[in-house]
Amino acid sequence: MSRATRAGGTFVTMLVVFALVACNRSVERDVEATKASLGPGQTQSAVTPSTAATPEGLLYGRITTDDGAIHEGRLRWGGDEEALWSNYFNGVKTKNPWVALAPRKQLPKERFSIRVFGKEIVGWDQVMDLDRPFMARFGDIARIEPRGRDLQVILKSGTVFHLDRYGADDLADGVRVWDDRGGLVDIGEWKIRTIELLSAPRPGAAGSALHGFVRTRDGAFTGLIQWDRRACLGADELVGNSTAGIRRLRFDSIRSIARRSSDSSLVTLLDGSEIILSSTSAVGRENGGIYVDDQRYGRVLISWNAFERVDFSPGGTGPAYGDFQPGRPLMGDVVTRSGRRLAGRLIFDLDESETTETLDAPSQGVDYTIPFSVITSIGPGGPDAPGAQRARVTLLSGEVLQLERSGDLGKWNAGMLIFLEGRERPEHVPWADVERVDFDRPSERHSPGGRR
């Protein structure tokens, strides 16, 4: 997953300024993932939109509270945040079980130092923090169970992730339920005993999902949209300052939004009228980014600097819960720079182990979150390779993405674990030694224990 930002500190003692450069990472701890025994089946992470009624694309489930009450109906996290099956649930994993399987001397290291007037007087190397965040689409999740400070997330595949309840997670803001029997109910996180995610049993009245065509300075994307990382339904509102004062516009009344400057946007309504909005996080440089669920790639996050224009299309819908098939273990080959080829079950970056997990890397102000199920190969590139600052990611469609060598493709990647058939422990290949990773296509998948 994307690495957290490093930060340093300074201190003054005995009239000499010492800079203590430390790379403190914000947090997200990895998981003790309990590997489920999986049978044959398909994996589908770039899901196909359902042809069913729009409500099937909206989150639905059953929540049991600590007092035994049961609420079932349409769900929305935080009341006005994640509402679609393709939206992601985020959290902090308690620990990373894969680290213990890699030789410590091969793990990436960080440099720490004490400097006097810019000159290093003491320096040391330390193994980098290999904790990882948790991300999963709601469509890939079967159940969520808070237990004290432990937050269990069970995927459809059967894999269990243990999250730190006191870390940053999407449950903290609670869940809103449009209860089929009791009306609208807001449930705080500490009142929740279990959340079971379910397919909507029948069509019902609900707002449509935001869908549209988004242009950036380096390309265009089409799909479901989360504006400012939150608004994802037509009934959600865009708020901004205009010459007439604060305006609140429902997204289903908007035809397009065009970036006008770093702090303003031109909004065109369905009736053709135009409004300039400014000085709010929703339409300026404080915008957190625009998510687009583009079926070619999975999900992209477009920064405000890269954003140019969005044209909304009516009647948006998304994949239904049943369109998300259980993930399977990553299988494939790792080719090293010395020419060795190692085949078996793969753990990417000492973290990602299933086809529903994602490769995260940027390009030109756009962050790509690509399910491994739609990736056929990764060529990390390197100092001696043409286009050294880019890595090649080849998709099932045949398209090749040239992504920056950062995030999951950067120097902080902790390398590959390969479970070779017939061996008790996996082999670890540092990321700097990887020439190429080739993932099995769906027809080539084999049992978790090995290949062929």
Specify the pLDDT at position 199: 93
* Residue 48 CB-density burial (10 A; 0-12 exposed, 13-18 middle, 19+ buried): exposed
172: how many CB neighbours lie within 10 A of its CB? 16
Residue numbers of the domain that contains 123: 9-31+99-127
Return the structure tokens found at 13.
């003692």
Return the structure tokens found at 368.
């790509």
Tell me which residue has tokens 């790379």. 23
Whether pLDDT at 232 is above 90: yes
pLDDT tens for 291-321 read: 999 999 999 999 999 999 999 997 667 899 9
CB 73 within 8 A of CB 169: no
**Same-domain status, 244 and 123:** no
Return the structure tokens found at 285.
């440089």
**Same-domain status, 184 and 63:** yes
Domain count for the chain: 4
**Same-domain status, 181 and 69:** yes
**Residue ending a domain, choose from 268, 294, 316:** 316
Residue 355: which pLDDT band, with cuts at 50, 70 and 90?
very high
**Residue ending a domain, choose from 281, 316, 351:** 316
442: how many CB neighbours lie within 10 A of its CB? 13
* Residue 147 CB-density burial (10 A; 0-12 exposed, 13-18 middle, 19+ buried): exposed
36 within some domain: no
**Same-domain status, 117 and 220:** no
48 within some domain: no
Hey, what amino acid is at 179?
D
Specify the pLDDT at position 442: 66
CA separation (Å) from 428 to 100, 232, 253, 330, 421? 11, 41, 54, 15, 14
Adjacent-strand bridge partners of 238: 249
CB 144 within 8 A of CB 163: no
* Residue 411 CB-density burial (10 A; 0-12 exposed, 13-18 middle, 19+ buried): exposed
Whether pLDDT at 52 is above 70: no
- CA distance linking residue 129 with residue 126, whole number of Å: 9
- CA distance linking residue 26 with residue 312, whole number of Å: 35
Close Cβ partners of 119 (under 8 Å, ≥ 6 residues apart)? none
**Same-domain status, 246 and 335:** no
pLDDT tens for 20-37 read: 223 333 323 332 333 333
85 within some domain: yes
**Same-domain status, 271 and 308:** yes
**Same-domain status, 228 and 105:** no
**Same-domain status, 58 and 193:** yes
Angle at 351 between CA 346 and CA 355, to 5 degrees: 55
Tell me which residue has tokens 């300026």. 284
CA separation (Å) from 379 to 2, 375, 407? 18, 11, 14
pLDDT tens for 360-398 read: 999 999 999 999 999 999 999 865 554 467 999 999 999
43 within some domain: no
pTM: 0.82
45 within some domain: no
Closest CA to 228 of 241, 240, 238, 243: 238
pLDDT tens for 144-172 read: 999 989 999 999 999 999 999 888 779 99
Angle at 310 between CA 307 and CA 313, to 5 degrees: 155
Adjacent-strand bridge partners of 129: none
- CA distance linking residue 381 with residue 393, whole number of Å: 10
227 within some domain: yes
Specify the pLDDT at position 95: 86
